[in-house]
Amino acid sequence: MRLPNPTLQGTFLFRLKVARGIAEIERLRPAWDSLFHSELTLFQSHRWNLLAARCFADREAPYFIFCESDNGAAIVPAVRRREADAMGLAGELLFDYRDYLARGDEKPLLAAWRKLSELGLPLDITAVRHPNAAIWNRLPTQHFSRAPRLHCAGWTRDRFTHSHARAFSRLRKLERMGLAICEYPGDSRMAAHIYHLRARQSAPGEIFHDPVRVEFMIEACRAEENACEIFTLEHGSTVAAALVTFRDGNCRRFYTTYYDHAWARYSPGVTLLFEISRRSIEQGLDFDFMTGEQAYKLRIAPDAEDLYCVRASSEELRAALPAPGVAGQKPSAA
């Protein structure tokens, strides 16, 4: 994607654009897709960021920065949080992993972040996966949480079943009671049904008590179509438990769990999670249980990925970014 009005900064010719409106963000899609790579997640996709900009504009004003040169390009999907008056990355509370997109020479990436620093606002980002990567390694980071995950290599369906025999015994019991596992794509009515059930269960202040977040997730499931897989344990017309998952490359991400409290004594949610984990192994998929080290996740996933938050004052952000022409230098500790 080529932008008009190239600017000369030192000896560095680059094109920089700040997209603040939906139409401008939509026009970034060709460049965005060209920068996407396998180390990123669905939270860095154009479709999720565009949807977040639409749904949360009254909370997070988009300030998406695109910069390119002949040797590189970068996109920083920044937002200005209206309530906190701080900068972050798009996604409100619904993106587990945050990152910029970049390729080639580092200068466009640095130019984009310098543009962001001109606003003179603090930076608050939760959470990043690669704290030693460019930009993040220049800024103050601290450990936030871990995301349990299991790599399917080295596992078989039978070994997993043997390792968790009690969970699968519980599944057989539920099946004898008349419960059945069903599967739906994200563009079905089931996505809306599950998130409305979650909303009714949620107390004020909990994440899905908020109708805007519920609507975002319904639209995200619809946008993903068959890459969103919803699994349920059903008894007649009752959904005893549900999982909302997303296929993301060679990984199945377990995004939302739900269970009907009337069935709580039978642990239908955890039982369903074990079964879909077993199916993931059979399909050759890694699986990611997302942020949080809850005990039921750790019983399934022996490994976990560390996540970090980035918090910098406006002064720290400016000091971390070298002037044009010295991109390879890190700021002095002095």
Read off the pLDDT band of 7 (50, 70, 90): low
In this structure, what token pair is assigned to residue 124? 């608050």
> Measured in whole angstroms, how far is the alpha carbon of residue 110 from the centre of its chain?
23
- The predicted-structure confidence for 253-286, as pLDDT tens digits, reads as follows 999 999 999 999 999 999 999 999 999 999 999 9
The whole-number average pLDDT for the span 146-169 is 92
CA-to-CA separations, 156 to 119, 148, 248, 270, 283, in angstroms, rounded: 52, 19, 21, 20, 10
Is residue 327 scored above 60 in pLDDT? no
Rounded mean pLDDT of 163-181? 94
pLDDT of residue 30: 98
Lowest mean pLDDT among 84-93, 134-143, 171-180, 324-333: 324-333
Per-residue three-class SS string for 218-249 = HHHHHHHHHHEEEEEEEECCEEEEEEEEEEEC
Provide the token pair at 302.
Answer: 């022996």
User: What is the average pLDDT value for the chain, to the nearest integer?
Assistant: 92
The whole-angstrom distance between residue 35's C-alpha and the CA centroid of its chain comes to 17
DSSP state of 322: P
Label the pairing between strands 303-312 and 141-150.
antiparallel
Could you say which DSSP state residue 8 is in?
E
What is the predicted pLDDT for the residue at 332? 32
Quick: pLDDT tens for 90-119: 999 999 999 999 999 999 999 999 999 999
Give the CA count within 13 Å in the CB-facing half-sphere of 235: 15
As a whole number, mean pLDDT of residues 165-188 equals 95
Written out in words, the top-level CATH class of the domain with range 153-284 is alpha beta
Q: How far apart are CA 216 and CA 263, in angstroms?
A: 28
Tokens at 129, concatenated: 């996966």
Q: In 3D, which of 142, 69, 130 has the Cα closest to residue 97?
A: 130
Count other Cβ atoms within 10 Å, centred on residue 250: 12
How much of the chain, in percent, has pLDDT values that exceed 70? 93
Contact between 59 and 50 (Cβ < 8 Å)? no
Instruction: Tell me phi and psi for residue 326, to 5 degrees.
Output: -130, 40
Give the rounded distance of the alpha carbon of 230 from its chain centre: 18
pLDDT tens-digit map of 12-68: 567 999 999 999 999 999 999 999 999 999 999 999 999 999 999 999 999 999 999
Third-level CATH fold of 7-145+307-320: Aminopeptidase (3.40.630)
Residue 330 pLDDT > 90: no
- Distances 255 to 30, 83, 192, 260, 270 between C-alpha atoms, Å: 27, 26, 15, 17, 14
Query: Does residue 226 carry a pLDDT above 60?
Result: yes
DSSP state letter for 121: -
Supply the pLDDT for residue 323: 77
Q: What is the pTM of this model?
A: 0.91
Sequence letter at residue 290: M
Q: State the CB neighbour count (10 A cutoff) for residue 246.
A: 22
Residue 304 pLDDT:
95
221's tokens: 């499931």
Torsion of CA 299, 302, 305, 309, to 10 degrees: 40
By the 10 Å C-beta count (0-12 exposed, 13-18 middle, 19+ buried), 151 is classed as middle
Task: Give the residue extent of every domain in the chain.
Answer: 7-145+307-320, 153-284
pLDDT computed for residue 324 by the predictor = 77
Fold identical between 7-145+307-320 and 153-284? yes
pLDDT digits (tens, 9 = 90+) for 69-91: 999 999 999 999 998 899 999 99
More confident site: 154 or 63: 63
| pLDDT at 333 > cutoff 90 | no
Contact present, 60 and 95 (Cβ < 8 Å): no
